[in-house]
Amino acid sequence: MSSQDIVILDGGKRTPRADILVDNKSPGLFSRYSTTQLGGFSITGTLANTQVDKSLIGHVVMGMAQHSHRDSIYGARGMGWRGGLGQDVPALTVARICGSGAEAIAVAAEIIGAGLRHDEDRPFIVAGGAESMQYPFSLYNMRGQKVGAATQKYGPIDTSALPPGTHLQDMLLMSLYDPSAKMAMANTAEELGRRYGISREQCDEFALRSHLRAKAYRDAGGFDEEIVPVAIEGGELRADTHIIEHPSLEKMARLPAAFEAGGVISPGNASAVVDGAASMVIGRLSDAEKFGCTPLVRIAGMGVAACDPQIMGWGPVPAVRIALKKAGIRGEDVDTVELNEAFAPQALACMRDFGDLGIDPEKVNPVGNAIALGHPLGATGSILSLTAAYWLRKNHKRYGVVTMCIGGGQGIALVLENLAR
């Protein structure tokens, strides 16, 4: 250990993860909130729960994958002021698609470590990520129309007044198609399933594992310390919404293949589409000690890697290999892994190769992951980092790995060392 080590302080918070639709029909419980609002909720909760004084926060670094609302362009800046930070605190939005929340933590650590932009008088940084998956439909071929001729600065559009040649595209669906791979993200996971000989039954069994583990952890109160409640119509949301109360293989087997005829991916074994956010405070160990703050974990290593876009979901394997080397540990030393379950065959393929790194597959996702809990793109890396950090402390274990695949063919991984065991 060194006094210059970068640590995550105790007290980080995340919102619950809320499905973008209720029962696949009605607007989701967070549908009225923008990405910056969700990020603001997590920052408010983190600053209230962390011992550090707000006057010691010198920067905000937050991940966000996609612009989904009118205020999304302000990103981390909007999240910072909504979270209660002053106008004199600068902010940076980072985007590495699905890895944005983890990238934000890495960038914040590098700002501190490099020193070029680090404010020694305000030595702590708020880092994390947020994503509203309420992506809009985008209207094309309207540029040049006068305001009032069906083009409006604000408010709804009268679709009956749209001229011929205009068209709408669903940005949620369009964003999931990778032109470099010439296929959608789900089809890259189907390709991994073919290469690794993964069956539909294995995918459904993995999905069941995710739901059962997440439900057990939630029911035991495991997620409670990381969640800040969010106001919704009629009360507060205090828990993730996608966990199935009574999952079964029989029910999952009845769901049709969603992306390819005869494919292995169904709505039941793919990641849930949810809204959410998470944040934490990071700084040097020496500053944590100086200002009486409790360090939770040390950022021991980080890795980012690229791979063939047609098997983009395999990216965590080389990323974890790099992160372990940076941390100076072996796979056998790892006590828990938070691997984002973008799709069941993708996660299963990575887990097989993790075995070659010495990582026990049973240590992967001990409390479930995105199939049961959801994947709010820009927030996932920060959410999983909080979950891993708190799990390490609860279980008196030392090393955790947080990793995820990234659209376009990348992977990112963090190694966290528990300082509170």
pLDDT digits (tens, 9 = 90+) for 208-233: 999 999 999 999 999 999 999 999 99
Helices (H), 257-312: 285-290
Region label for 197, one of left (φ > 0), alpha (ψ between -120 and 50) or beta (otherwise):
left
Mean pLDDT of 259-273: 96
**Cα-to-chain-centroid distance, residue 318:** 19
Positive or negative torsion for Cα 338, 174, 239, 81: positive
Q: Summarize pLDDT for 328-347 with one digit per residue, the tens.
A: 999 999 999 999 999 999 99
Tell me the C-alpha distance between 340 and 100, whole Å: 13
Q: Is the pLDDT of residue 377 over 60?
A: yes
Flag whether pLDDT at 156 surpasses 70. no
Contacts 24+ apart (CB under 8 A), 233-238: 233/29, 237/15, 237/16, 237/18, 237/29, 237/30, 238/16
Query: Between 169 and 327, whose confidence is greater?
Result: 327
Which residue would you say has higher pLDDT here, 409 or 160?
A: 409
Q: Where are the beta strands (DSSP E) in 30-166?
A: 57-63, 91-94, 124-131, 137-140
- Contact indicator for 192, 314 with CB cutoff of 8 Å: yes
Q: Where do the DSSP E strands lie in 64-186? A: 91-94, 124-131, 137-140, 167-170, 177-178, 183-184
The type of residue at 331 is G
Q: Tokens for 218?
A: 């939630």
Q: What's residue 149's pLDDT?
A: 56
Residue holding tokens 């992506």?
Answer: 135
Distances (CA, A) of 89 to 8, 83, 86, 102, 318: 19, 12, 6, 21, 36
Between CA 385 and CA 297 the distance in angstroms is 10
The continuous run of DSSP H or E covering 237 comes out as strand 235-237
Assigned superfamily of 6-134+272-416: Thiolase/Chalcone synthase (3.40.47.10)
Tokens for 384? 């999983």
Which secondary-structure segment (H or E) carries 78?
Answer: helix 75-82
pLDDT band at 148, cuts 50/70/90? Answer: low
Secondary structure class of 100 (helix, strand, coil):
helix
pLDDT, average across residues 240-250: 97
Strands (DSSP E) contained in 290-366 are 295-306, 336-339
Closest by Cα among 87, 89, 74 to 125: 89
Q: CB count, 10 Å around CB of 194?
A: 13
Q: Cα separations (Å) of 295 from 89, 118, 283, 298?
A: 22, 19, 9, 8
How confident is residue 147, by pLDDT bands cut at 50, 70 and 90?
low
pTM of the model: 0.95
CB half-sphere exposure, 273, CA atoms < 13 A: 16
Amino acid type, 241? T
Other CB atoms within a 10 A radius of the CB of residue 43 amount to 31
What are the tens digits of pLDDT across the range 45-56?
999 999 899 999
- For 63-86, the pLDDT digits (tens) are 999 999 989 999 999 999 999 999
**Rounded distance between C-alpha atoms, residue 272 and residue 207, angstroms:** 11
Q: 165 in the Ramachandran plot: left (φ > 0), alpha (ψ -120 to 50) or beta?
A: left
pLDDT of residue 115: 87
Output the pLDDT for position 362. 96
The strand pair at 336-339 and 399-406 is best described as parallel
- Please identify every residue annotated as catalytic: 98, 405
Q: What are phi and psi of 257, to 5 degrees?
A: -60, 135
Q: What pLDDT is attached to residue 48? A: 97
Q: How many CB atoms lie within 10 A of CB 69?
A: 17
What is the mean predicted confidence (pLDDT) over 270-298?
A: 97
Where are the extended beta strands (E) located within 190-260?
230-232, 235-237
Compute, in degrees rounded to 10, the torsion defined by CA atoms 9, 381, 217, 332: -90
